[in-house]
């Protein structure tokens, strides 16, 4: 593992990353790009990383961003929102079947079209759970470069493509503007909201709950708002900053990646994405034919992207983050249980040369992919 970055250099890199993310997000928002804050921040930071800039978001700052996002997501909940929970078991069941089919089909594509070994193909096909997939890749000695590129490129395509597609078909807001949730109340209510949400997030994190920070803070906020205890929300500028932060965190995963390495595996990334999204779309269409659910909610809930990014997208597009969050959590648990089990049963990977570790032509200061 790479040595820690010196404090002064870390602060400079973080400041540059957040500045570029803010500029990208604001520009995309002003031109009316769907979910412009997260799309713009992600694209600009990713591009800067590929061009050699040391994009970096410290772990503790990433955790704070996750909790702010969780608080914002939970604030959408009202007592009326909770009445829609009855439909979740059916849709989560359909999602589980879709996840299995998606994983099998994408694994087969990488295995037989791009000649990946079975274990690397399975890890590259995993729909979500990026941190766990990269940890398993390191444990099994798989080629982390190609797995990381396939996984992160999929998240980037979904983050840019879903808002554009939904807006094109008139299924989601396409105009500019900051994410809006409700009113900013008294300082006392805000203090209670933050204290309860942060406490719940840290509690779930320590209990090793999947996505504990973002789901825990969302649950704390949802209970307070859904139960009618408070109706205050975070200021819009705080929500916007958190959304930009998520874009910066995701985009920074391309830092220290050699563009030639990216191009080498781009075909596998695009092809596997096409397979996965086709299957996800088929099951999403099937669900909307039999259940009274919004198409846009189902599209984001069934998309094989990172759970935190998809939940922020639900917020940015004014969708139902509780519906989206519940489905991504269910898929995360399913993937976390079965991917390690099947990966261990598969044979040793045939590694590419050079070493299976992430490598690049420039000296690196930290891993290409962060948890």
Q: Which domain holds residue 275?
A: 9-174+181-345
Per DSSP, the residues of 235-256 read -HHHHHHHHHHHHHHHHGGGTT
Q: Read off the tokens for 9.
A: 């250099």
pTM: 0.68
Q: What is the CATH number of the domain that holds 249?
A: 1.20.1530
Q: 295-302 vs 259-290: helix axis angle to the nearest 10?
A: 140
Distance CA(249)–CA(252), nearest Å, equals: 5
Quote the pLDDT of residue 232: 81
Instruction: Summarize the confidence of residues 294-317 as an average pLDDT.
Output: 84
Per-residue pLDDT tens digits for 119-159 = 999 999 998 766 667 667 767 777 777 887 898 888 889 88
**pLDDT tier at 323 (50, 70, 90 boundaries)?**
confident
- As a whole number of angstroms, the distance between CA 88 and CA 92 comes to 6
Q: What is the CA radius of gyration of the chain?
A: 20
The answer, yes or no, to whether residue 103 has pLDDT greater than 90, is yes
- The answer to whether 141 touches 356, Cβ cutoff 8 Å, is yes
| Section 265-269 average pLDDT | 92
Looking at every residue in the chain, the average pLDDT score rounds to 80
Domain contains 299:
yes
- What is the pLDDT, as a whole number, of residue 283? 95
Please determine, for residue 190, whether its predicted confidence score (pLDDT) is greater than 80. yes
Instruction: Supply the pLDDT for residue 359.
Output: 39
- The number of domains in the chain is 1
* Residue 42 belongs to a domain: yes
- Tell me if 137 is assigned to some domain: yes
Residue whose C-alpha is closest to residue 345's, from 119, 11, 158, 189: 119
pLDDT in tens, 15-39: 999 999 999 999 988 887 767 888 8
Give domain status of residue 189, yes or no. Answer: yes
- Residues with Cβ within 8 Å of 220's Cβ and at least 6 positions away in sequence, in order, are 70, 71, 74, 196, 197, 198, 199, 200, 201
Least confident segment among 72-86, 314-328, 331-345: 72-86
Return the beta strands (E) in the chain as ranges.
Answer: none
């Amino acid at each position: 593992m790479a040595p820690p970055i010196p404090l002064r250099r870390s602060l400079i890199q973080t400041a540059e990353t957040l500045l570029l993310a803010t500029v990208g997000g604001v520009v995309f928002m002003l031109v009316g790009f769907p979910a412009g804050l997260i799309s713009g921040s992600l694209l600009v930071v990713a591009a800067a990383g590929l061009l050699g800039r040391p994009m970096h978001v410290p772990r503790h700052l990433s955790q704070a961003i996750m909790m702010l996002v969780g608080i914002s997501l939970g604030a959408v909940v009202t007592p009326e929102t909770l009445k829609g929970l009855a439909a979740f078991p059916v849709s989560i069941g359909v999602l589980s079947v879709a996840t299995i089919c998606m994983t099998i089909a994408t694994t087969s594509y990488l295995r037989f079209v791009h000649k990946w070994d079975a274990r690397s193909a399975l890890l590259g096909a995993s729909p979500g759970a990026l941190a766990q997939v990269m940890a398993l890749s390191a444990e099994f000695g798989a080629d982390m470069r190609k797995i990381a590129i396939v996984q992160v490129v999929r998240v980037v395509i979904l983050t840019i493509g879903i808002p554009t597609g939904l807006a094109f078909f008139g299924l989601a807001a396409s105009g500019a503007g900051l994410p809006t949730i409700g009113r900013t109340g008294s300082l006392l209510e805000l203090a209670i909201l933050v204290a309860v949400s942060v406490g719940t997030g840290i509690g779930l994190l320590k209990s090793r709950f999947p996505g504990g920070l973002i789901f825990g803070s969302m649950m704390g906020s949802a209970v307070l708002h859904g139960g009618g205890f408070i109706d205050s929300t975070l200021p819009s500028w705080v929500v916007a900053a958190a959304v930009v932060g998520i874009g910066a965190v995701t985009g920074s995963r391309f830092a220290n990646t050699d563009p030639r390495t990216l191009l080498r595996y781009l075909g596998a990334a695009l092809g596997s994405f096409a397979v996965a999204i086709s299957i996800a779309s088929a099951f999403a269409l099937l669900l909307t034919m039999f259940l009274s659910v919004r198409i846009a909610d189902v599209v984001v809930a069934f998309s094989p992207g990172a759970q935190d990014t998809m939940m922020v997208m639900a917020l940015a597009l004014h969708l139902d983050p509780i519906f989206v969050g519940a489905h991504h959590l269910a898929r995360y648990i399913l993937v976390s249980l079965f991917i390690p089990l099947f990966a261990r049963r598969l044979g040793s990977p045939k590694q590419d040369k050079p070493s299976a570790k992430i490598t690049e032509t420039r000296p690196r200061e930290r891993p290409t992919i962060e948890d």
